[in-house]
Amino acid sequence: MVPPAQSESVKLNRETWLNSMATLMAPRFAELGKPLPKFRVTIGWTSGGKNDNATGECWSPRVSEDGHFEIFLTPRRADSMAVACTLAHELTHAAVGLAEGHKGEFARVARALGFTGRLTHAQQPPALQAWIQPMIDKLGTLPHAAIMPDGPRTLIDISAIMGDTKRKPVEDGGDDEGTSKAEPLNNKPPRQSTRMHKTECTECGYTARVSAKWLKVGAPLCPAGHGPMAYDVGPVEGSGD
């Protein structure tokens, strides 16, 4: 069962574009004897997170509350052809079942669609593009802008984005923690850093670092048998981990 085709009068967002693209691809899968099962497709990070190089991922209906294959396509790419080719790859996984891996029925269907070479790699072979291009012509370009968390940092005019004339442009934050710049890359809560205190044996010079929580219990003992080690703060009142 595939998502219904979108009305041409409806402005497509990226999810409706992807599902409409899948609907246009569906007849070919049926011709190959592998009609598409229930599925959803969206733009989102794969299980490896934002640092993963995977361009797409298909999850089993066993982990979906209502028994759908769940397909995620990386937010890093916005090129319509590249994304559509990855969609075709992931739909092939859904059509033949994940147990096939990239062999057997997966290989048969994928090569019939136009995939060539190593089927584990993202690719855009000419035959596949020739099949997909009329679909892109029908739907228009994918309405998505690539997300590049590790890309070059540029000056961001937040006031223009937020419609706030009181804000001033700020330099893009260099991390995703929201700790170093006025405008972080996302709203992830800042990581709580632990204050590690240096302890040192006054006889042999052995050093170690211990959190305030455990210094409150007591100073560590020198492994060479010289007793409690000295540390770089006065009485410890904190209880941070």
pLDDT 10s digit of each residue in the chain, 241 long?
A: 444 444 443 578 999 999 999 999 999 999 999 999 999 999 999 888 877 778 999 999 999 999 999 999 999 999 999 999 999 999 999 999 999 999 999 999 999 999 999 999 878 999 999 999 999 999 999 999 998 887 655 555 555 555 655 555 544 444 444 444 456 666 666 665 567 888 999 999 899 988 888 888 888 999 999 999 998 655 444 434 4
Global pTM?
A: 0.64
Region 14-139: CATH code: 3.30.2010
Residue with tokens 């000419």: 126
- Looking at residue 48, its pLDDT comes to 81
Each domain of the chain, given as residue ranges in start order, spans 14-139, 152-191, 196-231
Whether residue 87 contacts residue 58, with contact meaning beta carbons closer than 8 Å, is answered with: no
Whether residue 132 contacts residue 84, with contact meaning beta carbons closer than 8 Å, is answered with: yes
- Looking at residue 94, its pLDDT comes to 97
Strand runs labelled E in 46-105: 56-59, 69-73
